[in-house]
Amino acid sequence: MSSILLVRHGQASFGAADYDQLSDTGHEQSRVLGRALAARGVSPDLVVTGRMRRHAQTADGVLAGASWDAGVDVDAGWDEFDHLQVLAVHDRPSSAEGESEKAAFQRWFEEATLRWTSGDHDDAYDESFGAFTSRVSAALTGLAERLGRRGTAVVLTSGGPVAWACASLLADDADARTALWLRLNPVSVNTGTSTVVRGSRGTTLVSFNAHDHLSPDLVTYR
């Protein structure tokens, strides 16, 4: 049986001019995860990242924490969707009375994401939701086939691809998968780990968003 560990990147620099780099907390989360994986005896045959800087930095921290001497493969199939464009094409709603800035942003993000996933406005985006999910599914299938029967891979990616990989393995039709993705994506913990196995029963999700390697002060969602 082969195993794929899907890891969301460490905390990025939310609110900064350049989101695509880890915060100090994100670097620490990555090292902590590496130590935890090594303590469990995980020894990957493949380490894979998307193309984002936060993916590469998370990989660096995990490798350092685990003391793994492994090369890192980069696969664009594991890139996050362009959340900045998804927001940019959807007018920011007015803040409700008494609503915090954080809550207002979350409401804007959820509305913009619903518009993107609906499929009714695909021409407004460089990458439609359907195109995004197709490339993530292809990346997961290709990696499972590449591993063979007994390999182990660790994938450092983002919440969107992790949530889609999991939703695609849990739901049977497109609408149900989309609805599940919309529920899983917002609760993805930084360096949370989801485990997919491939054996005689096919490719199966056996855990989602495990983050018991983190102390309470290191649990973040952005």
| pLDDT on residue 178 | 97
Asked if residue 95 has pLDDT above 80, the reply is no
| pLDDT on residue 201 | 84
Within its chain, how far is the Cα of 8 from the centroid? 4
User: How far is 84 from 216, CA to CA, in rounded Å?
Assistant: 29
Asked if residue 100 has pLDDT above 90, the reply is no
Asked if residue 98 has pLDDT above 90, the reply is no
Residues 6+ apart with CB under 8 A from 128: 116, 119, 122
Which domains, and CATH codes, for the chain? 2-81+127-211 (3.40.50.1240), 83-125 (no CATH)
| pLDDT on residue 204 | 95
Helix (H, G, I), strand (E, B) or coil at 148: coil
Residue 192 contacts residue 9 (beta carbons within 8 Å): no
Handedness of CA 39, 196, 84, 216 (dihedral sign): negative
Instruction: Provide the β-strand partners of residue 3.
Output: 152, 197
Percent with pLDDT over 70 in the chain: 98
User: How far is 209 from 55, CA to CA, in rounded Å?
Assistant: 17
End-to-end CA gap in the chain: 33
In one-letter notation, the amino acid at residue 72 is V
Asked if residue 15 has pLDDT above 70, the reply is no
* DSSP state string for 69-115: ----EE-GGGPPP-HHHHHHTSPPPPPPTT--HHHHHHHHHHHHHHH
| pLDDT on residue 132 | 98
Closest to 165 measured CA to CA, from 34, 49, 1, 6 = 6
Residue 70 contacts residue 47 (beta carbons within 8 Å): yes
Percent with pLDDT over 90 in the chain: 83
| pLDDT on residue 16 | 62
| pLDDT on residue 101 | 77
| pLDDT on residue 102 | 78
